[in-house]
Amino acid sequence: MDFWISFWYVTLVVSMAIFAALAVVVTIRGFGDVLALFRTISARHAGEDAGGGDTGGDQREQDVQRDSQ
């Protein structure tokens, strides 16, 4: 039983510490991503309004090409 008590203690403390660090990073960098999300969708809609059709498909193809490189 002592093994499990020590094991769960270490697991809990380490997890909480890592999660606290992750929460700080994601909070800060995530806010920038939210603003970028609005910009991306607005730009896509503007492209569609200008008669460019569904530019999202082109973007997806570019993503696949980039990932495969």
Residues that bind other proteins (CB under 8 A): 1, 4-5, 8-9, 11-12, 15-16, 18-20, 22-23, 25-27, 29-34, 36-38, 40-42, 44-45, 48, 56, 59-60, 63-64, 66-67
> What is the closest distance, in whole angstroms, from the C-beta atom of residue 51 to other proteins in the complex?
15
* Element at 69 (helix H, strand E): none
> What is the closest distance, in whole angstroms, from the C-beta atom of residue 9 to other proteins in the complex?
7
The answer to whether residues 31 and 38 touch, using CB atoms and an 8 Å cutoff, is no
